[in-house]
Amino acid sequence: MPHIALNFEDGITRIIEGLPGETIAEAAYRLGINIPLDCADGACGTCKCLWKSGKYDPGDYIEEALTEDEAAEGYGLACQMRPEADVVVDILASSAACKITTATFDTTITGLEFVSPEIVKLQVKTGGERIHFLPGQYANIEIPGSGTTRSYSFSNLCNTSELEFLVRLVPGGLMSVYLQDQAQAGDALALTGPIGSFYNREITRPTLFFAGGTGIAPFLAMLEKLAKEGVSHPIQLFFGATTEANLVELERIRAFSEVLPLELHCCVSGESTTQYPTGFVTQWIDRKALKVPLYDVYICGPNAMVDAVKLALAEEEIQYENFYTEKFLPSGLSEAK
Ligand SMILES: Cc1cc2nc3c(=O)[nH]c(=O)nc-3n(C[C@H](O)[C@H](O)[C@H](O)COP(=O)(O)OP(=O)(O)OC[C@H]3O[C@@H](n4cnc5c(N)ncnc54)[C@H](O)[C@@H]3O)c2cc1C
Ligand code: FES
């Protein structure tokens, strides 16, 4: 039986025994270690980990979950990797985060507000229980009557039973049509979570946040936490949207910059405005402008935006110690496998 050493971000290591043919994620879950996992199908990339030693079968997955470059750098997907001998892997989350169990909660819609013509702020309330999530994580929300779910990042903290999400409506999309045409306060929504390893770690050096569209949602939760705790290192938030109206929650972000060393840079890609530069967030990835020798980097938004930011950072040779991404992959992707 292969032994699997799981190194967590906080320096803790657990060695577990895998059963023949079991994936790393299956072995971990069987033994009560909830490493971040969503699709369990090689489609979302949530379970990405870093291989250190030993032989394994990487399994099947799609490029959006793990790129060729990432595989070449030693990354693998714990839900697909089958050890063929003793292996050592770095889990990209702390041991504490892996103890957070995912559960399904019955919630009720308490608010539906169009914060832009394309973006709805969805507010729900549990029956009183608190969902313990880390700011930056997400939940899978069931579309009533469809038996299917969509993923959404929490955009507030877990201090109360009230939860908030920002949803960009996609023409003809299942959840989008439900929210636009049918949803009303009082509707029941089943929510499963928390999920994901995109949550904010302690800020120990200058940090870059890149948000595309509703990719601002997890950063709102993170900034709310940081504003409560205080931070001494500078944070630069680069926020891009297709239209000026889709640069949502700016007042809230500006309030955070009153209490945090936070600099906000906004841009708009799909129209010209008098207030903001036209183009994508990559315009600020400039060696001369980003002078600090080492950053931590967080990126969240559509697939293409996350990849463009990664590429621009590499091209400009911006150095970083820690690098975290959340891709808002369209839900149909797993079927393309
Ligand atoms: C981890 C994770 C977190 C996410 N968090 C958020 C969030 O906080 N806020 C948010 O708005 N979205 C988020 N998403 C995206 C979200 O889960 C849905 O994919 C999106 O809301 C569309 O769902 P739908 O049911 O309306 O459309 P679907 O029925 O899934 O799709 C309908 C059609 O539109 C296409 N499509 C789907 N999404 C897009 C898109 N973004 N752009 C262009 N075409 C698209 C599909 O390929 C399909 O052809 C997240 C995704 C992931 C994986
Ligand atoms: S949980 Fe492994 S790729 Fe989705």
Nearest CA residue ID for atom 38, ligand 1: 330
Boundary residue ending a domain (195, 225, 245): 195
| Pocket-testing residue among 47, 70, 327, ligand 2, by greatest number of atoms within 8 A of Cβ | 47
Q: Do 213 and 242 contact (CB within 8 A), yes or no? A: yes
Mean pLDDT of 12-23: 94
175 lines ligand 1 (CB under 6 A): yes
Question: Is there a domain that residue 335 lies in?
Answer: no
Model confidence pLDDT, tens digit, residues 315-336 = 999 999 999 999 998 876 544 3
Which numbered atom of ligand 2 lies nearest the CA of 43?
Answer: 3
CA 200 remoteness from chain centre: 10
Q: How many domains does the chain have?
A: 3
What pLDDT is recorded for position 102? Answer: 86
Q: Do 162 and 110 contact (CB within 8 A), yes or no? A: yes
What pLDDT is recorded for position 330? Answer: 85
B/e letters for 95-126, b = 16+ CB within 10 Å, e = fewer, are bebbebebeebebebeebeeebebbbbbbbeb
The rounded distance, in Å, linking the Cα atoms of 192 and 296 is 29
24 lines ligand 2 (CB under 6 A): no
328 lines ligand 1 (CB under 6 A): yes
CATH number at residue 113: 2.40.30.10
Question: Of the bound ligands, which one is closest to the alpha carbon of residue 139?
Answer: 1
Tokens 């409506």 label which residue?
169
Q: Are residues 105 and 87 in the same domain?
A: no
Q: Are residues 80 and 114 in the same domain?
A: no
Q: Are residues 45 and 120 in the same domain?
A: no
Nearest CA residue ID for atom 37, ligand 1: 330
The rounded distance, in Å, linking the Cα atoms of 266 and 211 is 10
Structure-block tokens of residue 232 = 């001494």
Model confidence pLDDT, tens digit, residues 261-316 = 999 999 999 999 999 999 999 999 999 999 999 999 999 999 999 999 999 999 99
Among 200, 269, 267, residue whose Cα is nearest residue 235 = 200
Boundary residue ending a domain (141, 173, 195): 195
The rounded distance, in Å, linking the Cα atoms of 135 and 148 is 24
320-327, strands of its sheet edge to edge? 262-268, 235-241, 207-212, 295-301, 320-327
Q: Are residues 147 and 111 in the same domain?
A: yes
pTM: 0.92
One-letter amino acid at 27 equals A
HSE toward the beta carbon, residue 174, CA cutoff 13 A: 14
43 lines ligand 2 (CB under 6 A): yes
Query: Whole domain around residue 303: which residue ranges?
Result: 207-329
| 106: helix, strand or coil | strand
